[in-house]
């Protein structure tokens, strides 16, 4: 049973986007392959895996090393345009994400999007949702340091605090799917749920590890905040 809002420890959920809400990683990988091959190079699965969850600036640098003869900004714009085009054709939702968003919305739990994708793609995905679930969008083009640095998550908490000064890091849970994303969320001090998708994640006790968001509930997120991180998160 849901705790009364005044008693619940959970005030906000901070959501990663790519791989957590939408399965856009195949779109990114396809765009990377096409761009590298257009410049006469080759792009391996292993190289693509290095970019999952990273900032676009970091990713563009690796693409330059792979032979893409464009400036960082040009690479970012090219990749983003390709992924937006794919999302417009089909939004590949991850299992359980929309259902959990709806439950949080109905319960009045605030949500922030914390993604290394830039504003145009984030807004395309958000606009595809049936309701305005996200009060705040922190995107890769609004922070100086991308994941795995915690800046994006700390920024989201600061923006949430503008409306509720009593909200603290200990009132939030982050949902992530990648190594850099999980590292960023954990480093920010926010209780973190890892839902591995493309890349496996170690079960090191610094975050909760869930196989999927399908069937997961608000009550389970609340329970995470009642578990002292020092004691380890419950497996599940």
* pLDDT tens per residue, range 4-63: 555 789 999 999 999 999 999 899 999 999 999 999 999 998 999 888 878 889 999 999
* pLDDT tens per residue, range 18-33: 999 999 989 999 999 9
Q: Per the structure block, which two tokens stand in for 165? A: 């000064």
Query: Based on the domain organization, do 138 and 182 belong to the same domain?
Result: yes
Query: Based on the domain organization, do 162 and 201 belong to the same domain?
Result: yes
pLDDT of residue 119: 95
The last residue of one of the domains, among 89, 113, 143, is 89
Pick from 8, 6, 53, 10: nearest CA to 191: 10
Query: Based on the domain organization, do 150 and 217 belong to the same domain?
Result: yes
Look at 24-33, 48-57, 114-123, 131-140 and tell me which has the smallest mean pLDDT: 48-57
* pLDDT tens per residue, range 68-113: 999 999 999 999 999 999 999 999 999 999 999 999 999 999 999 9
Q: Per the structure block, which two tokens stand in for 169? A: 């890091």
Confidence band, pLDDT 50/70/90 cuts, at residue 235: very low
pLDDT of residue 25: 87
Question: Is the residue at 5 inside a domain?
Answer: no
Query: Based on the domain organization, do 176 and 80 belong to the same domain?
Result: no
DSSP 97-112: HHHHHHHHHHHT-EEE
* pLDDT tens per residue, range 177-233: 999 999 999 999 999 999 998 888 988 899 999 999 999 999 999 999 987 454 455
At 172, phi and psi to the nearest 5?
A: -120, 150
Domain that holds residue 71: 25-89
pLDDT of residue 236: 53
Say how many domains are in the chain: 2
Query: Based on the domain organization, do 125 and 223 belong to the same domain?
Result: yes
At 47, phi and psi to the nearest 5?
A: -65, -40
DSSP 67-78: T--S-HHHHHHH
Query: Based on the domain organization, do 128 and 188 belong to the same domain?
Result: yes
Which has more pLDDT, 35 or 3?
35
- Contact predicate 30/209, CB 8 Å: no
Query: Based on the domain organization, do 155 and 209 belong to the same domain?
Result: yes
């Amino acid at each position: 049973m849901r705790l009364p809002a005044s008693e619940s420890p959970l005030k906000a959920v901070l959501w990663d986007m790519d791989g957590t809400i939408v399965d856009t990683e195949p779109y990114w990988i396809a765009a990377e392959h096409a761009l590298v091959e257009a410049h006469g190079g080759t792009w391996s699965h292993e190289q693509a895996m290095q970019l999952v969850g990273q900032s676009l600036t970091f990713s563009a640098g690796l693409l330059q090393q792979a032979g893409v003869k464009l400036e960082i900004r040009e690479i970012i714009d090219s990749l983003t345009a390709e992924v937006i085009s794919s999302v417009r054709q089909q939004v590949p939702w991850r299992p359980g994400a929309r259902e959990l968003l709806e439950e949080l919305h109905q319960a009045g739990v605030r949500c922030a999007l914390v993604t290394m994708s830039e504003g145009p793609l984030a807004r395309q995905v958000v606009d595809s949702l049936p309701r305005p679930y996200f009060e705040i969008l922190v995107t890769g083009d609004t922070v100086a340091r991308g994941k795995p640095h915690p800046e994006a998550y700390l920024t989201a908490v600061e923006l949430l605090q503008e409306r509720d000064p009593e909200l603290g890091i200990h009132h939030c849970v982050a949902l992530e799917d990648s190594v850099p994303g999980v590292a960023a969320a954990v480093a920010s001090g926010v209780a973190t749920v890892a839902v591995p998708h493309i890349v496996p994640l170690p079960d090191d006790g610094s975050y909760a590890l869930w196989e999927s968001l399908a069937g997961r509930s608000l009550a389970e997120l609340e329970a995470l905040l009642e578990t002292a991180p020092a004691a380890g998160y419950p497996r599940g």
